[in-house]
Copies of this chain bind each other. A is one copy, B any other.
Amino acid sequence: MSARAASRAAVPPPEAKASRRQILDCAARLFREQGYAAVSLRDIAAASGMKAGSLYHHFVSKEEIVAEMLNIGVQTVFGEVRRAIEAAGDVPAAHLIETAVRAHLRSIFEFGDYTGASIRIFGHVPARVRDATIGERDAYERYWVALLARGARLGDLRGDIDLTLLRLFLFGAMNWALEWYKPGRLDLDGIARQLGEIILHGAAPVRAPPANRRVRRTGQTAKP
């Protein structure tokens, strides 16, 4: 009984069932391709080789399916980015950012459909599901904030850049790739390199030290 009580205290089964995972796999693929509301439980069931009613032996509702899928997606990309950052060791923040960008992009496009689906449909999912999964997302976002803040502290990032905005711009540039990237057309490493290069050093030619024509920015006062 103590063993039984202990096992009941943990997550329902000691190890997740295979069908359960396969349902989630199919759901992730369909959600990613077609969006949340466009995919019915019958679609998910058919893709999993089952009938709609049978899904309820593994999940209590469609919302539970999508919520679990969202969480797996975020945890996957989070884990990949953290792993890549820790493997990079003690390098300048500039290099870390490109490493994180590459890991994030790879997670989106090369690690199953969870991550891509998670990003694409998060904003289109019932509010209850969003609330249930926002904790995981926050954790991942805080990780990026910390990453950028470390870069700023070490002097690898400009002090006049709003780190929150920088992170949002980065996420936007990366996640928007879900709307246009088709595997095989461009390689992810090249995309990551270009994004890192643009974000860090800009698309404009390096500023000539004394040139006057470009110093004049709209709101930003000139230097002393």
Determine the distance from Cα of A159 to Cα of B217 in the docked complex, in whole angstroms: 6
Copies in the complex: 2
Closest B residue to A176 by beta carbon equals B172
Closest to A127 in B: B34
Least Cβ distance of A205 to chain B in Å? 5
9 A–B contact pairs at CB < 8 A?
Answer: A120-B123, A159-B219, A165-B186, A165-B194, A168-B180, A171-B176, A198-B202, A200-B203, A221-B221
B124-A35 in contact (CB<8A): yes
Task: Tell me which of A42-50, A57-65, A75-83, A150-158 binds B.
Answer: A150-158
A71 at the interface (CB under 8 A from B): no
Q: Is the CB of A165 within 8 A of B195?
A: yes
Contacting A198 at CB < 8 Å: which of B122, B169, B223?
Answer: B169
A193, CB-defined interface residue at 8 Å: yes
Question: What residue in chain B is nearest A148 (Cβ atoms)?
Answer: B203
Which residue of B is nearest A98, CB measured? B218
Of A12-20, A106-114, A208-216, the one touching chain B: A208-216
Which B residues touch A202, using CB under 8 A? 158, 198-202
> CA–CA, A204 to B21, complex, Å?
43
